[in-house]
Chain A
Amino acid sequence: MRPPERPPSTFDRQAEKLSAKLAESTTRTSFLGRLGAAALAIAGGSVVAAAVKPDDADAFHLCGHIWTTGSCPSPYPPLARIDRKGYPLHPRSGRPIDNLGRLVDSSGYALDGNGNRLRGPDGKVVARAPRTRICEDWTREVKGLKDLRVQGSWFRCCGGQIRKLVDCCSFSRRRINGDASLTGYCWRGRRVYCVMYYDTGLPC
């Protein structure tokens, strides 16, 4: 089967086409694919999940990652959990965090243990810290690569919910591990530099 054409922009359209093909296939459980796509369309906006096997996936250093490329730099290494736009999330709770690893509210202000905005020694609310994308900003600054793009992705069942594993791709022939990089799901000459993941919360 010819691999689907990968659009040069968002990975969402790629996942949408893949999920549509799998849902239509007589060898796949199309019900789960349609149900997942519909649920994600409601809950997540533009991301459409592919049909996946209901049992948990094998893992390299995180569930669902069956290859060997390391995770991208993040506020909580070695796990690089992201939201659908590539911004960091707390690896356990899945809540938004800033670049200092602090839980933040919808406006980006850090929160204390009681869920209130964090106040400094002067009693005033602490100014917001930067919150930047794991692939394009974090990895770029830590590793000095300027051509990083989020490209390919794939889906696995992990912990009873669908996990989307995302490639952060670069033209570099070395990946974050230090050895030769793999093509993975990257395209137009890029290769997988590091990986991140997004937990959809959809049951599988």
Chain B
Amino acid sequence: MLETFTPAVCGSRKRQMLAQVVFAAAAVATSAALGLALGLAGGLLGARHAVLAAAALALVAAAREAGLLRFPLPQARRQVPESWRFELPLPVWAGGYGAGLGAGFFTFQPVSTFWVACAGALALGRPLAAAVCLSLYGAGRAAMIVWPRRRADDATAAVERLATRRGALLRANVVALVACAVLLAVAPSASAGLVARPGFDPSVSARTIAFSTQAGEVVVRPPSGAGAVFPNASQPALSGEYLAYVDGQGIRVVRWRNGSQVARIANPSASRPALDWPNLAFVYRDPSRKRLIVRNLSTGRTRRPAKVSLSADLGRPSLRDGRLAWHVVTRRWSGIYVRTLATRGVRTIARTRIGRLTNPSVCRRRVIWVDERSGVTRLRAGSVRSRRSRVLTSVRSRSVSYWTTSLSTRRAYLTRWSLGSGAAEIHSRRV
């Protein structure tokens, strides 16, 4: 390729530069498109465990490059069609060469790194990120028709210089593949971190998290400094320095740093608080209905945005940025709803007759919720403005499921629990 893009072949120095630009653009665009397709496929397949498979593939590839293993690579042992240079206009053949090499499949593969990059793009599961990453492959292809000739005009001499460095390049490739394997292997634990074990009912505000324990306590854990523990408490809801929780007498709102009480809902029928100071949302059970109530603890103003029959489940609400999210589950259907408090508008985010949708959390324009089906539970993320959603994480099991959630601007928190033992732990995931 280096000996193709020369003034002699292209016709002039100006045409050489044009050909190089077109080649580079085509190579980068094709690689990016390949990355986009792989990232999309990975997202659709739910390629969570593919990250580990990609790490394993990188290790196998490193072993191959180091000469420890021998196996053929899938490739087309062909050169670019030389006849194109004589039959097609310069921009067309230069672009065609760039696209062919940028795709990676249509030509000789001296090393296996390309396939590891494809596996990584698939495991990433994010189309745009994968497109950006794989476009670097196309950029590398483009660089190889320019960079080796930077010190001399003689393309043949540049090729021969490259050939003398082959051994060093192969060794560097092995090191790079091993590094990829390590990074891919630790990636799942980096993005889906274990936050608390045991623990459930997470509530996040800024970087402080509160959660319940099976010992009947509420734990508040700030990012630094001393936290707090509240005994005989459950169902925490955090908002800055304020914490709401349920105790034997109803709902208590305190400043969590010193435990001083600021408000109290003295009624054992009140539960499942959500706090966005000064607004407190909770579920209240009266003799005929379950009601969702939002009370401004400063002014006393009370709103009642939803009610259901006693036989239905009115779920743990989430209150943030002037939006209230909750779930309703009946014997016939379940749904996730978001209401903007200022406008009273209610939007149905999701609804189904065959699954169970529960425990939404809202933050700004994002909402997450648990989508349980037979044999698989998913944590879904969507926008408060549409019914489209994507899967953040899932578990295919009849003995493990997700419980309550919480959402910050960058991370989703969820309770993962075992149906057999009741044991629960809190995980987080990047949104």
Contact = CB atoms under 8 A, between A and B. Distances in A.
Contacts of B417: 120-121
A100 interface: yes
Interface in B382-431: 398, 403, 415, 417, 419-420, 422-424
Contacts of B329: 127-130
A123 interface: yes
A138 B355 CA distance: 10
A132 B415 contact: no
Interface residues of A, number: 28
Contacts of B398: 101-102
B208 to A, nearest CB: 21
B420 A112 contact: yes
A28 interface: no
A132 B332 contact: yes
B355 to A, nearest CB: 6
B387 to A, nearest CB: 14
A122 to B, nearest CB: 6
Interface stretch (B153-161, B294-302, B372-380): B372-380
Most buried by B among A101, A118, A130, A132: A130
Contacts of A102: 398
Contacts of B423: 121
Given A120-B403, A123-B214, A130 B333 contact: yes
Contacts, number: 82
Interface residues of B, number: 32
Contacts of B415: 121
A130 B422 contact: no
B3 interface: no
A76 B329 CA distance: 21
A121 B333 contact: no
Contacts of B373: 99-100
A99 B355 CA distance: 6
Nearest to A99: B354
Nearest to B199: A121
A137 interface: yes
Given A112-B420, A121-B415, A123-B214, A132 B313 contact: no
Contact of A108 (B234, B331, B372): B331
Nearest to A131: B331
Interface of B: 198, 200-201, 212, 214, 234-235, 313, 329-334, 352-356, 372-375, 398, 403, 415, 417, 419-420, 422-424
6 contacts: A76-B374, A99-B355, A122-B201, A122-B235, A137-B332, A141-B354
